[in-house]
Amino acid sequence: MATLAWARAAIGAASSALAAAVFAVLDVVDVVLCVVYAILDGILEESPVRCYCRNRPEPEPEPEGMSDTLYARRSAIRDALLGLVVRRRRRRRTPAVKWRSSPRWSDCACKSCVAWQQGRGERLHVVVKEPDPSTKGFSGITLLAFFANAASGTSAVFIHGFTSSSSFWAETVFREGSSLLHSSTRLLAVDLLGFGQSPKPGNCMYTLKDHVEAIERTLLIDPPPHNNLMSSFHLVGHSMGCIIALALAAKHPTRVKSITLVAPPYFLACEEKAASQVALHRLAEKKLWPPLLFGSAVMSWYEHIGRTVCLVLCKNHLLWEWLLRLLTRKRDVDFRVRDLTRHTHHSAWHTMHNVIYGGAALQDANLEAVQAAAIPVMLIHGVDDHVVPVDCSRHHLKAKLPRAHLRLVPGCDHTTVVSGRERGFAHELTAFWSSAGCSLPISISQSIVRVP
């Protein structure tokens, strides 16, 4: 027994040492890339944008909603190297974030990626599934047609997670579980600002407020004479989408009929760290295993390495998609793979820090508003989720929202809690919407049941 414990301790120490060595190398690489991109941006961009490698500039106020994690990504090696770089470039001051064109030279400028600049304005891309009484199914309609009929029936707004799009819902629940959903409920899945086919402005900091206001402009508030597009609606969010759903509900408590949070990230602040820092260290801990955690750590801690990944994958996504179709001999690329490249580094980097990490500091106030408004809440979490720990729902959120329905799904991870069990997920939604006061013509148990 003692030998086994010693072996485990030795393996743990070796793993920690290897991780420290790997991330030390990444620190050096990121600083080198910082210099490289500063030179290239100065040559290729009219108004280069300062990165977040150096300390927060005190005289220059930051836009509201900016996360402290953008600047608080420190390591001894990184700080020492950056100190040398800053001393050499002290007289060359790069400007703060300014209004600039999009895309940047390192972003994709293909027809599909810049289509949002052609006539849509500031509205998000939305996939709408309208109930079709003649077929008992759903048929896609345009957003303009939705606006014309928004006052009638009940709507449900689905919000996707990080580096995803409306396809996460449209290709799963909308397609496979539509027969179980309310025959008079209109289903809407949005592409969040900066993702999928929605606008990706270069002058936006992609704060939580920015994302909420983008949804409001698209679905909730229309210029006069039509001020309110939906008088009431259900909200369904996955992962990062849960943070945005809670902020939207806290702002419109009288219009939200229910909230379903799937794999919601929620971390409590401690004496040593703010909630944003706790979220950063829990969701992007510097470990080599599992691979998803390692990838999250690299993209969260290293701004310029992340930009390089986007330069290779996102800027050249048409090439990668062609290669995948050639190798798999399939006509279409899987939507999960496609969604990984449908953003800019600017939109992904700022959304990750200002919503996922920075939004953690705003969660308590939003949860209190939801609790005060007595909005019904359902929590769904995969027991095997290695991206967002199941304790976020099982302990933290359940303690904050004691009246919330808690549904733990054995054998499911961060994605398969929805994908692969679409009909079961749709069954849970209909049961919950029924218990939340939505009269359903479908005969379903009013309790939240475990569905395989």
Query: Residues with catalytic annotation?
Result: 160, 239, 385, 414
- Contact indicator for 217, 360 with CB cutoff of 8 Å: no
Burial level of 239, CB count in 10 A (0-12/13-18/19+)? buried
Q: Reduced to 3 states, what is the DSSP secondary structure of residue 230?
A: coil
Q: Element (H or E) spanning 425, and its range?
A: helix 422-435
- At 26, give phi and psi (nearest 5°): -65, -35
Backbone angles phi, psi at 124, to 5 degrees: -80, 160
Q: Output phi, psi for 424, to 5 deg.
A: -65, -40
End-to-end alpha carbon distance in the chain: 38
| Closest by Cα among 84, 98, 104, 100 to 37 | 104
Nearest to 201 by CA among 284, 98, 110, 131: 98
Q: Are 129 and 139 in contact (CB under 8 A)?
A: yes
377: left (phi over 0), alpha (psi -120 to 50) or beta: beta
| Residues contacting residue 121 through CB under 8 Å, at least 6 positions apart | none
Q: How far is Cα 249 from Cα 111, in angstroms, rounded to an integer?
A: 35
Task: Give me the sign of the Cα torsion angle 408, 411, 415, 416.
Answer: negative
Give 191's DSSP letter: P
